[in-house]
Homo-oligomer: A and B are copies of this chain.
Amino acid sequence: MSFAEGMINSNPVAVSEPKKSELVSAINACIDCGQACTSCSDACLAEENVLTLRGVIRTTADSADMCTATAKILSRLNHPKWNVLRAVVDACITQVRVCGAECNEHSRMHEHCAVCAQSCRSAEKALQSYRTLIEER
């Protein structure tokens, strides 16, 4: 069991299945993607062809900030404001989709871009799954 799962399970604010599993997956995918993006931004900066990687370095830095903020916001269960949560999750989905596509373009040349793209897709998928469960009624 991941720490995130243990934490969500023991929060006095109960979350029922399948929402709980999707929430835990989304949180874990966001913290992993935030790390991968910070790491990819740094790895690209260390490459010889850094001049052609400026776009990726910037986009991954943004994704790191957005994924980290989203993971924190999703980890809170008290008094949710669903319209805010939807807007934040949607923005994070857009962020990692664009970032994943940009990293993917460099994935043949740079293994770190391939791993980061995979992490972005994983975050996008997990956020999308959770997003459908907090749909506006």
Contact = CB atoms under 8 A, between A and B. Distances in A.
A128 interface: no
B91 A39 contact: no
Quickly give the copy total for this chain: 4
A39 B4 contact: yes
Contact of A83 (B34, B68, B94): B94
A105 interface: no
8 closest Cβ pairs, A-B complex: A7-B39, A91-B91, A10-B111, A55-B79, A69-B69, A10-B112, A87-B94, A6-B115
Given A83-B94, A94-B83, A98-B83, A11 B43 contact: yes
What class of interface size applies to chain A in its complex with B? 35 or more
Given A27-B35, A69-B68, A112-B10, A98 B75 contact: no
A20 B110 CA distance: 19
A35 B77 contact: no
Given A64-B72, A66-B69, A79-B59, A32 B10 contact: no
Nearest to A11: B43
